[in-house]
Amino acid sequence: MKAQRDKNRDVEQVLKAACPTGPSSQLKRQVIGAAKRAWRREPQEISWQVPLRRLAVSAAAAVLVVSLTNLAVDRSLVRWQAGGLRVAGWEPGDVDAVSEAVYGSRVRYLVAAIRRASAADWRQYREQMQRVLDEAQESGTPDRPAAPNGRSRLLPVPAETGAFS
Amino acid sequence: MKKRSADDAIRAALARDDPAAVELIWDRYVGDLFAFLQAMLRCRQDAEDVLQMVFVKIVRKRRHLAGARRLDAYVYQIARNEASRFLKQRGKRAVEARDGSWLSPAEADNVRREWAEHLQHALERLPDGQREVIVLKIYREKTFKEIARMLDLSANTVASRYRYGMERLRILLKDAKS
């Protein structure tokens, strides 16, 4: 370790026979002049400008990202739109396909009632239906509730409410 | 302690947006900075050009400089970046005939001038990192800790660069003597 240090000391002594030259006074004038000109040309930012600028940049970046995402989504959906978009839907007629072994005739009756009451007052309708079902249960589950005067008991009487066709 | 108070004065001037900060930065850093740039660029004239670029850059980044945790490390980082950019540009364009000498003899006589040239050539054959550390250690009398702080390196890295550089120099100078 000591030998290493002595060797380094020898080389250090040799190196000290020369040295890098320092800056001249002319260089000092030139550099400081250039720096001060730059100082005057570019005034320091006022403190409130910094967050404002950051906000503007963030907003611009957000708009850019949203626009690019919209563009990408539109492009990816083009092939789906070309053939026409088919959406699965439910039609009231589909209820006919419901087959109930035990309640088949009752379900068909209810469906027919629902169709007739397309613009019915649903609250009144629900109460009435509940009443019909209760009666049906009490009277030993007839297949079809009796219709007074040939009309469905599920529907409100038009004369009373005037709301059903 | 003196250096810390100089750094505090620079920070205060920067906070006031006072152009006098430029002179304070010059007084505090130019000796080490100029030696460092000469070691990195291996040409006095190029070091003068880059020194001016460094000061202009410092002025442009003065807001960041005022808030920097370590002022010296920030200044040397700017110097290193500017010198690297300059070297890249110099590599692209045709190299002009410039006076390449950056090491001058301590006493002006022909023998010593010739020996200074040998030393310069030997130093130029070292890797950049080793040359920078040796120049700052020997010619600016910095400690490993100070160099590590300036160059944002660990003290061990600086010490090993110095040791390998000195070993290499010993061989190169022996060859030059013989």
Please indicate, yes or no, if residue B97 is contained in any of the structural domains.
no
- The pLDDT of residue A163 is above 50: no
How far is B168 from A142, CA to CA, in rounded Å? Answer: 111
Entry pTM: 0.61
Owner of token pair 């509730």: A145
Q: Which residues of B touch A13 (CB under 8 A)?
A: none
- Of A164, A134, A140, A137, nearest in space to A151 by CA: A164
Q: Are B122 and B176 in contact (CB under 8 A)?
A: yes
Q: Is A38 on the interface with B (CB under 8 A)?
A: yes
Please indicate, yes or no, if residue B100 is contained in any of the structural domains.
no
Please indicate, yes or no, if residue B166 is contained in any of the structural domains.
yes
- The closest CB to that of A18, out of B22, B106, B163, belongs to B106
* Residue of B25, B46, B101, B119 to mutate for A, most A C-beta atoms under 10 A: B119
- The pLDDT of residue A19 is above 70: yes
Structural domain of residue A132, as residue ranges?
Answer: 94-161
Domain boundary pick from B92, B121, B142 = B92
Q: Is A39 on the interface with B (CB under 8 A)?
A: yes
Token pair for A126 = 């629900």
How far is A115 from A112, CA to CA, in rounded Å? Answer: 5
Is the ipTM, as predicted for this complex, more than 0.95?
no
Total number of domains constituting chain B = 2
Contact at CB, B19 and A19, closer than 8 angstroms: no
The per-residue pLDDT for range A87-113, each reduced to its tens digit, is 555 555 555 555 545 566 777 777 777
Domain boundary pick from B31, B66, B92 = B92
Structural domain of residue B163, as residue ranges?
Answer: 110-177
Q: Are B123 and A14 in contact (CB under 8 A)?
A: no
B156 and B74 assigned to the same domain: no
Total number of domains constituting chain A = 1
B122 and B160 assigned to the same domain: yes
B20 and B48 assigned to the same domain: yes
Please indicate, yes or no, if residue B104 is contained in any of the structural domains.
no
Beta strands in B63-114 (DSSP E): 103-105
How far is B114 from B123, CA to CA, in rounded Å? Answer: 14
- The pLDDT of residue A162 is above 50: no
- The pLDDT of residue A21 is above 70: yes
Please indicate, yes or no, if residue A150 is contained in any of the structural domains.
yes
Segment holding B66, helix H or strand E: helix B62-67
